[in-house]
Chains A and B, each alone.
Chain A
């Protein structure tokens, strides 16, 4: 038995041998070498010789940290090595434990006794090893079992151990909050230590604790303040500043006290890190103090002009902290920020970009976008896309809040699409369609931009732009009546290079071509329809109403409501390029009731249009469609195939009946009934329906039919409905229109009050709107009946109709929500349809873990004792002592409640409120309970060590004078004011 063991230890590869071996091997053979070594380690680690075992473990440590080898299997061996008497072996063992142990390591409990032994060892380095390991792998059990040892070490006279014990306390608290009750007092005592290292360690712990849950540490503000004023160690000061940046938000009077010392540090210190921390504290927590803020911004500017990229970067970050509250700070440094956009450093560029976007407002959006686009063109692809992405997201914020000139924005989108590296196709696609649906006035510009994109065959070769093209195709199809030349559009949609498009987008192209075709046919076959419907327009309008509102508003309301006739009118204009401007003018001027001109105008344009849609051009169009789409019938993509099928059905029908129709037409026979005509008309009507934006919560707002039980478990459904036919979806869809625009009033039972309030608001708005233009909601009834009358089975677009109906009504609701325009605008902002979207109630405040509450609960409890102890070594200044006790009691009050809080997250806030609001009242109450406190003080006195009478007493006395004032600040307002 001893033989092989001895051999092992004599010929064992040391760590150095292993490393050398690894370096000799090529990357390719490295893995085989590693697995060979691992086999050796597995064998050696079982050796009875402790040295062999520890060397094996050492090698494993190395392989684990640098090559990521699993070493959890060696957990037990690590514990064996830790128990060695040999320091070096012990060290290897502890390293292995800190590297590989975690809360689910089952042998970890075996370590408890060994840790306890080492923690009470006489050798400081052994203690240090144990502490180190404990702070890395601490579990709940370890924390609980070893708390007494840690407590003892906190009182150690050796600062080497003491500060490590302090740092370990943090991990213990995290795992075992009850330890706070035991150790907290000693921790606070160490704040007064003369040893900078120890103060730094304690501050480190408090900094970590306070970042998680600052409220509980407010009572310690006096101690922190003393450090802030007295300490000259930058490490400590930075930690204190971090704590204060949390506390100052909670307690404004504290903020008032600390702002001056912080400014002092900022002026005085030469250490950039400290200055930066001061700046950050002021910008994030004390920005309401103007002089301090000014000083901080000054310092930021110094950072920004510095050559050191680190300072520049941090300076920009600091600015972005303050940009929300004090935009002027950013604007003041605008030149530097813009300059940073062309920095070499991607971090700096990104920060600068964010700041630039923060500066965007409706006044400067043109200018800034222009600058940014020029930067985007110069930058490398990644940053270019970053710029474009942030332009897009900023502009669409809050339903295009900052955009006034939508024509400009749409052409900007077109411009962005053509930037070579643009990867934002999806977002642009979304916005193009969204704007099309929401902003009526911009549609002609949209169609123009769409056309330019569609007719450029070069763009089809670029896959990233395909999404944008799909939006362009959709827009062109949907708003084809605004197009100047639908034939050209058709050619663009059917150009041969569309074969490069992915099938889903190709399907959209085909569908758009379908819409264009229907539109052309309709315009050709029913040239009179438009004329016929146009004169009826003024009749519909009540001149009394229209004259009282502005022309602009009128055209909007009629746009919205009288969809059909209006669309026809628009169409007329669209086809008559020469007349466009004129007729537009007429419409806006003549809507006051000047029916004659309007009538003449439309009939005039109608005749012109007749010339435009000649038989020849229509036949050519049909030929083009047939020729290009027929081959697609054989495609494997169902979407394309189906849509092409629809078109083909139509074209064949038309071709069949067209000659017949022409004969009738030439003879001017009235009332001819041709099947194709009917279909074209129906389809056209169907496509005329506007698609509105749909609220994300629309689905929720659909009322639950009465008597419908919503079962939670849908699995039951099959059993119940097995033999019952599912409800026909169309019923559902038609149901919506009849509930009118008021659908939002009927809500789910479980919706919150807030939501119902919104809906009430929207119904009242709707009512108001109706009062004003009451008549114009009536035609919507007409639309419904039309689409209801559709021959159900034949019409391939039926489902579209249904959707349209539903959306139409959603839209009606939306119209009532269009916000009132702001006055005093040079160029009126077009209406943007907004939905009454109730943003999903986001629970923004993530609840801290219950552990944190446990800690803070315990902290508050202990702080009671702490206050007493600190009061104890105050000067015998009676008044300050009294106040301090009151202070303490006030803290005591909430902490009583606090104890039961651990698992009730919400009450946290209520507690804090309590402590704020009730304070003045309690003051009096506490006088009676003072006695009680005095007694407790006596008890504390006995416990507290006599070591507190240190030579710095004098210095502290000065500090205490300040401190006492602060001690009051959270509690008694009158004292400060």
Chain B
């Protein structure tokens, strides 16, 4: 991760978003990255994916986060670690892209959140956590 970070930081603005990653993560792999303000998104993919669609996928992911958190920022992700995971799991499943429609993703994520809130409402201790979630 640090190596990727180092590579990303060394790249100036207005260069292409792909990085050959064979040295970091094995043959037939590439990174695609995109950054929105302070957030960097990096996806790793191989030859069974199209480069440009991966770029779009980052867009989908970012859009979904945006919908989820309203003006998403670093802190949202830091404190809503598991929610971010939920979103990502809906989009990418076992290494395959399954859902590319951010509103579909949102639907599922909201359902899951509801379910989580319901189950954790029983627990006194966890109210603070769900408070964060419902924000």
Contact = CB atoms under 8 A, between A and B. Distances in A.
Given A19-B79, A204-B96, A238-B50, A309 B15 contact: yes
B108 interface: yes
Interface in A292-346: 308-310, 312-314, 344-346
B14 to A, nearest CB: 7
Given A87-B119, A273-B56, A309 B16 contact: yes
Interface string B46-69: 011011110110000000000000
A23 interface: yes
A622 B3 CA distance: 58
A86 B129 CA distance: 15
Contacts of A51: 123, 125-126
A310 B96 contact: no
A347 B93 contact: no
B132 A16 contact: yes
Contact of A197 (B56, B79, B99): B99
Given A51-B126, A88-B116, A348-B16, A135 B50 contact: no
Interface string B4-33: 000000001011111110000000000000
A95 interface: yes
Contact of A272 (B52, B78, B85): B52
A88 B86 CA distance: 11
A160 interface: yes
Contact of B16 (A15, A86, A87, A310): A310
B81 A15 contact: yes
A693 B8 CA distance: 46
Given A87-B115, A167-B98, A309-B15, A19 B128 contact: no
A478 to B, nearest CB: 39
B85 A95 contact: yes
A344 B116 contact: no
Residue picked from A23, A91, A95, most chain B C-beta under 10 Å? A91
A886 interface: no
Secondary structure class of chain A's binding surface, majority of residues: helix
Contacts of A15: 81-82, 129
B5 to A, nearest CB: 13
Interface string A68-94: 000000000000000000111101100
A235 B125 contact: no
A390 interface: no
A132 B82 CA distance: 15
Contact of B129 (A16, A208, A276, A312): A16
A9 interface: yes
B94 A235 contact: no
A168 interface: yes
Contacts, number: 136
Nearest to B126: A51
A869 interface: no
Interface string A121-137: 00101000001100110
Contacts of B118: 87
A884 interface: no
A314 B51 contact: yes
Interface string A157-180: 000100110011011000000000
Interface in A111-163: 123, 125, 131-132, 135-136, 160, 163
Interface string B94-134: 11111110001000100110011011101101101100100
A86 to B, nearest CB: 5
A167 B96 contact: yes
B53 A132 contact: no
Contacts of A204: 48, 96-98
Contact of A86 (B50, B82, B120): B120
A344 B14 contact: yes
Nearest to A135: B94
A314 B30 CA distance: 13
B82 A238 contact: no
B53 A235 contact: yes
A12 interface: yes
Given A14-B125, A19-B78, A164-B98, A277 B50 contact: yes
Given A164-B93, A273-B52, A201 B47 contact: no
Nearest to A276: B52
Contact of A346 (B14, B15, B122): B15
A242 interface: yes
Contacts of B20: 347
Contacts of A312: 16
A197 B98 CA distance: 7
A374 B90 CA distance: 51
Contacts of A480: none
A347 B18 contact: yes
Interface string A3-42: 0000001101011100100010000000000000000000
A746 interface: no
B132 A276 contact: no
A345 B93 contact: no
A277 B50 CA distance: 7
Contacts of A164: 93, 98
A167 B48 contact: no
B123 to A, nearest CB: 5
A14 B96 contact: no
Interface in B34-55: 47-48, 50-53, 55
A58 B83 CA distance: 12
Given A201-B98, A211-B48, A347 B125 contact: no
A626 B20 CA distance: 57
A310 B16 CA distance: 4
Given A88-B119, A309-B15, A313-B16, A167 B94 contact: yes
Interface in B68-89: 78-79, 81-82, 85-86, 89
B94 A310 contact: no
A842 B111 CA distance: 56
A238 B53 contact: yes
Contacts of B16: 308-310, 312-313, 345, 347-348
A205 interface: yes
Interface string A223-235: 0000000000011
Contact of A207 (B48, B52, B86, B123): B48
A309 B32 CA distance: 13
B69 to A, nearest CB: 15
Interface string A857-877: 000000000000000000000
Contact of B78 (A23, A273, A344): A23
A136 B98 contact: no
Contacts of B51: 273, 276, 310, 314
Interface centre among B15, B108, B122 (most CB of A within 10 A): B15
Contacts of B79: 16, 19
Contacts of B97: 200, 204, 235
A309 B129 CA distance: 43
A526 interface: no
Given A160-B108, A167-B93, A235-B97, A310 B116 contact: no
Nearest to A346: B15
27 contacts: A12-B125, A14-B125, A15-B81, A16-B129, A16-B132, A23-B78, A55-B125, A55-B126, A86-B122, A87-B119, A135-B94, A136-B94, A167-B94, A204-B48, A204-B98, A211-B47, A273-B50, A276-B50, A276-B51, A308-B16, A309-B14, A310-B51, A310-B52, A313-B16, A344-B14, A346-B15, A347-B18
Interface of B: 12, 14-20, 47-48, 50-53, 55-56, 78-79, 81-82, 85-86, 89, 93-100, 104, 108, 111-112, 115-116, 118-120, 122-123, 125-126, 128-129, 132
Which 10 A-B pairs rank lowest in CB-CB distance, beginning with the nearest?
A: A135-B94, A273-B52, A309-B16, A345-B15, A313-B16, A88-B116, A310-B16, A87-B119, A86-B119, A204-B96
Given A55-B126, A205-B96, 17 more contacts: A16-B132, A23-B78, A51-B123, A86-B120, A86-B122, A87-B118, A88-B120, A91-B82, A91-B112, A95-B85, A132-B94, A160-B108, A308-B16, A310-B55, A314-B51, A347-B18, A347-B19
